Amino acid sequence: MEQLVIRDADVVDGSGAPSYRADVVIDEGRIVSIVQEAAAAGCQRPKAQRELDAEGLVLSPGFIDMHAHSDLALLRDPDHSAKAAQGVTLEVLGQDGLSYAPVDDRTLAEVRRSITGWNGYGDDIDFDWRSVGEYLDRLDSGFEGRGIAVNAAYLIPQGTVRMLAVGWEDREATPQELDRMRQLVAEGMEQGAVGMSSGLTYTPGMYAKDAELTELCRVVASYDGYYCPHHRSYGAGALEAYEEMVALTREAGCPLHLAHATMNFGVNKGRAPELLTLLDEALASGADLTLDTYPYTPGCTTLVAMLPSWASEGGPESILKRLADDGTAERIRHHMEVVGADGCHGVPIEWDTIEISGVGTDSLADHVGRTVQQSADARGETPWTVARRLLLADRLGPTILQHVGHEENVRAIMRHPVHTGGSDGILQGSKPHPRAYGTFPQYLGRYVRELGVLSLEECVAHLTSRPAARLRLPDRGLVREGYRADLVLFDPATVAAGSTFADPRRLPTGIPHVLVDGRFVIEDGRRTDVLAGRAVRRTTRP
């Protein structure tokens, strides 16, 4: 007898088609049968060892977070309710060009320091891997071989690859270094990565010219992977930055997925239609193109990311030395406040938009929840004095919320047919961005039920089948017979993000059941002890 039957569910199957009522039968981690309108038809209803009454609930595929920063969190926290409770059954890691594989001993120490604000330094993690394949194996064998909370796919981080082959210098790669980077990308793809990411406002990845990126994208394309850039500007020059990535990937013959595809800062208010026209023209000319966004206006990153790229050359220790030198620090301030640093997307920084969301040093905790301007006003200091002190005292660790978005742009972009959902959720800090805990119920509750920006069926497609298609996953993202039973049951009348900017770690409401591989990771609204998640590897070969 089969394992489970979910009775009388309103199935929103992920395709965008209208919902239907059905019994759905699950066995050995897969959907084995779907019996539509079983009760009304009066037919013989399927039997199973366990039955779940889904009256009043929507059954959909599990949500796929196309932009996640859970690279260490999945190994640190077996509960991981931040994502499991949202209905997320698969996260895509290795984002923004910086993560923990492939590395050697030198670059591991450097990358740990450089993205402490994203993932913590990792003192509680045994970094017993160096290659992409070994990292994926570690996910599979997490928590004494039991696995991890949800599934995870991995993007090769181009900045980390450049760190290995070139270092932190702002220069073109030599032919030999470029060959080494090609080799590292090929090895990562062969070991199961789904593509490559870049962080082109983060060092050292931002030092790569388009020709170098194009060559690496050719390797990714040969494995049927995709390129996921955090491109060179989301502020001044944003449209030009999008055009650059479209042209680059067309030249390389590589599919493109635009990370957190927003139009931010005052210079881009109301300009989403220009971005959408650019995307439509690219698609009409044959581009293989998708994007992700989060349903909020503020962004989230690290304070050190705001610095000009020249101040970051050489890596974390070089940054700290420059900040400690009064003359160099004054040059940094001038570049940020007057010129507009490339780290701040070419826009002069507005300190009243930069809110400190987390620090790693207890003595600095009173800054959390305040903008840099507010902290400066309270101390009778300049904002740069406060920011510089935070960077030095916390050794580049502070995370920030950046309040520079526009609601009309958010709504317009999420309607686009190639849009998918990505939380960009940083789980570190005492006051993280609420998107880390709330992105997917925020889409369903606020933008579907309350605002009607998307229909329920269309929104679910954005969060399930479309990302699965980009990841080239043949058996996920739809409620179909033979597909994996990564599923969510939610109440469309009550589903909502519990997280707020004031209380960012509150879990969502209206999502009573979540299954990964046919096993309940959320049951009756509570996290079980099930660890059914595994690494999802790309298997295509050139």
Distance CA 118, CA 202 (A): 13
Distance CA 194, CA 410 (A): 27
Q: pLDDT per residue over 230-256, tens digit each?
A: 999 999 999 999 999 999 999 999 999
**pLDDT at residue 429, rounded to an integer:** 85
Q: Which residues does 269 contact at the CB level (< 8 Å), separation at least 6? A: 406, 408, 409
Per-residue pLDDT band for 35 (boundaries 50, 70, 90) equals very high
- Reference 476, options 537, 394, 411; nearest CA is 537
Sign of CA dihedral 108, 112, 115, 120: positive
**pLDDT at residue 39, rounded to an integer:** 58
Distance CA 261, CA 513 (A): 30
Which residue in the block uniquely carries the two structure tokens 């077996």? 78
Q: pLDDT per residue over 381-396, tens digit each?
A: 999 999 999 999 999 9
**Average pLDDT value for residue range 462-481:** 97
Q: Which residues does 308 contact at the CB level (< 8 Å), separation at least 6? A: 332, 335, 336, 339, 341, 342, 343
**pLDDT at residue 350, rounded to an integer:** 95
Residues of the chain with pLDDT > 70, as a percent, come to: 98
Per-residue pLDDT band for 327 (boundaries 50, 70, 90) equals very high
Peptide linkage before 273 cis (omega within 30 of 0): no
Distance CA 484, CA 475 (A): 6
For 521, the token pair is 């990771």
Q: pLDDT per residue over 16-33, tens digit each?
A: 999 999 999 999 999 999
**Average pLDDT value for residue range 323-327:** 96
Distance CA 262, CA 293 (A): 7
**Average pLDDT value for residue range 422-430:** 93
Mean of the per-residue pLDDT values for the chain?
A: 95
**pLDDT at residue 46, rounded to an integer:** 87
For 420, the token pair is 């998918």
Q: How far apart are the first and last CA of the chain?
A: 42
- Reference 307, options 291, 290, 322, 326; nearest CA is 322
Q: How many CA atoms lie within 13 A of 167 on its CB side?
A: 7
Q: pLDDT per residue over 479-524, tens digit each?
A: 999 999 999 999 999 999 999 999 999 999 999 999 999 999 999 9
For 237, the token pair is 């020059």
DSSP H helices in 396-434? 407-414
Per-residue pLDDT band for 72 (boundaries 50, 70, 90) equals very high
H helix or E strand, kind and range, residue 249: helix 238-252
For 239, the token pair is 């449209």
Per-residue pLDDT band for 177 (boundaries 50, 70, 90) equals very high
